[in-house]
Structure 1
Amino acid sequence: MLDQRSTADEWMDDMAAGEPEFAAALDELGRINRLTFAFNPVLSWLDRLVRQTGATELSILDVGCGGGQMLTAIDAWARKRGVAVTLAGLDHSPWAARYAAAQGVPARIITADLFDLDAAERFDVVLCNLFTHHLRDPDLVRFLHWSEDRATRGWLISDLHRHWLPWGVVWAGFRLMRFSPMVIHDSTVSIARSFVRADWERLLAEAGVQAELRWVFPFRWNVGVIRG
């Protein structure tokens, strides 16, 4: 079942999903992210980028930002580190910006398909946390080029490792915790759509992009570039 990336659809990607369902799912995903330390791989990578580049100011774009929980975590990280940040999030859902505004997320939220973003938009850092598994392989190869073009100091993709252990834990655990049907469905589909090392090696080779590929806790792959 997990030998190859799944192409099954996630309910959250359905543009017909209503705002109440979307908001409820984002509430639960925020809880899941805290329980699974989902932000740590990104924040640790930002620590490395600041150490290696000496940057004290950064403009950061979070692609597939959802309700903006990652951006809120980055804002807190930046305050602790004394780094001045200008934050932006990109999401195709019309409900993401409304949810982020209601939560007081300190960022500009852009509602658009990522490949339709204004060509003039550039950022020091482009981040993508738990999003690329939503993309089919050809679009993911295109996104690797996109990230290379849009990020001046570095970019990072942090996404799930496709493996039977997290799949089984999520399948059972989310039912016991009585999460919403959307989150229960999408959680295991997300893992089935995600990656093993060979997937990333093949996709990077197809894109002709050189990047660091690192397995990180808990069952994540970090794929990224730091410049300078």
Structure 2
Amino acid sequence: MDTVEIMDDPDCDPDMLRRTYANFRYVNAVVSGLRHTYRHDIRPLLSAEVPHTLLDIGSGGGDVARSLARWAARDGLRLAVTGIDPDARAHDYATSQPSLPGLTFRRALSSDLVAAGERFDIVLSNHVLHHLSAGELGGLLVDSERLSRALVLHGDIERAPLAYLGFGLGTWPFFRRSFIRDDGLTSIRRSFTRAELAASVPPGWTVHREVPYRLMLRWSAPPVTLTAARQTGRAHA
């Protein structure tokens, strides 16, 4: 599909863009399933004694990375969160927000981190997949495997008529001075069905359907303990 989100236009209105970044935290609180992902997939891997690392690819305005860092700290868990995005506008917005211990934002691509030999215990993204071409999706998955010691989670919207209708109706009274509604509807039109995404990924990746109208693309490292994997990574650094 050739239609792109307004916010991806480098010449889009900067004030509308900043309001869009600011409003993402409200939208993601409803549609991203992030708290469920944290509780069921991320938190069980963390520890109060052993530090762990998480990479958020395509972090945008930083609300996902910020939430994860805050929740881990609240639970007394040691987690360093890094958000990366190649867009200078997203990076500027994310770094303009109040700092949190253990939270870092960098202007970079996943391939930059692979080239630098960096590794993270957990790698994730939120609403990034539908922005990518087939080649870019394949590159992201290769990068994700190389960057992760343990777990990769790429969550995105599932394309469905009811998802489009529900988002359109639910956002109609709100977000008038941002790109949230228009770009959200475009994102749903660009997104995958479960069958399409499953057919687009290599062996070792699984696609799970979550609610409301979400897909989770998942990869787990070979069955070796996370501690051993982290020690091996340090030995070869």
**TM bucket normalised to smaller:** 0.7 to 0.9
- CA shift in 2, pair 1:211/1:37, >3 Å: closer
1:154 maps to which residue? 151
DSSP 3-state at the match of 2:115: coil
Summarize deviations over 1:96-141 as a string: whole Å, max 9, x none: 2222223224322111343344612221111101111111122111
Q: Which moved more, 1:76-85 or 1:89-98?
A: 76-85
Cα RMSD for the two superposed structures: 2.3
Which amino acid in the other structure matches residue 157 of structure 1? H
The answer to whether structure 1 residue 132 and structure 2 residue 126 are counterparts is no
Q: Which of 89, 100, 108 is 1:95 aligned to?
A: 89
Distance 2:28 2:207 in 1: 22
Shift of 1:50: 4.3
Shift of 1:178: 4.5
In the other structure, the counterpart of 2:181 is: 184
Q: What corresponds to 1:3 in structure 2?
A: none
Matched, 1:16 2:11: yes
Alignment partners' CA distance in 1, 2:28 and 2:80:
23
* Separation of aligned partners in 2, 1:66 and 1:113: 12
Identity %: 25
Query: Take 1:212 and 1:48, find their aligned partners in 2: how far apart are those partners?
Result: 20
Cα separation, 2, equivalents of 1:209 and 1:55: 34
Q: Deviations for 1:38-72, whole angstroms, at most 9, x for unmatched residues?
A: 42243132135449xx9942111101111111112
1:198 match: 195
Q: Is the 8 Å Cα contact of residues 125 and 154 (structure 2) preserved in structure 1? A: yes
Does residue 111 (structure 1) correspond to residue 107 (structure 2)? The answer is yes
* Secondary structure class of the residue paired with 1:82: coil
Q: TM-score, normalised by structure 1?
A: 0.85
TM-aligned CA distance change 1:178 to 1:74, over 3 Å? closer
CA contact (8 A) 2:158 2:193 kept: yes
Structure 1 residue 78 and structure 2 residue 75: aligned?
no
Higher alpha-carbon deviation: 99-108 or 144-153: 99-108
Residues 18, 88 of structure 1: alpha-carbon distance in 2 compared, 3 angstrom cutoff: farther
Query: Whose RCO is larger (CA < 8 A, sep 6+)?
Result: 1
Identify which range, 11-20 or 88-97, moves more after superposition.
11-20
DSSP 3-state at the match of 1:95? helix
| Equivalent pair of 2:55/2:82 in contact (CA under 8 Å) | yes
Is the 1:15–1:93 Cα contact (8 Å) retained in structure 2? no
What letter is aligned with 1:115?
S
Unaligned runs of 5+ in 2: 226-237
Q: Could you state the TM-score of these two structures normalised by the residue count of structure 2?
A: 0.82
Contact 1:62 1:89 in 2 (8 A): yes
Q: CA contact under 8 A between 2:114 and 2:147: conserved in structure 1?
A: no
CA distance in 1 between counterparts of 2:31 and 2:197 reads: 22
The worse-fitting range, judged by mean Cα deviation, of 24-33 and 104-113 is 104-113
Number of aligned positions between the proteins: 218
Closer/same/farther in 2, CA of residues 23 and 116 from structure 1, 3 Å limit: same
Q: CA deviation at 1:180?
A: 3.1
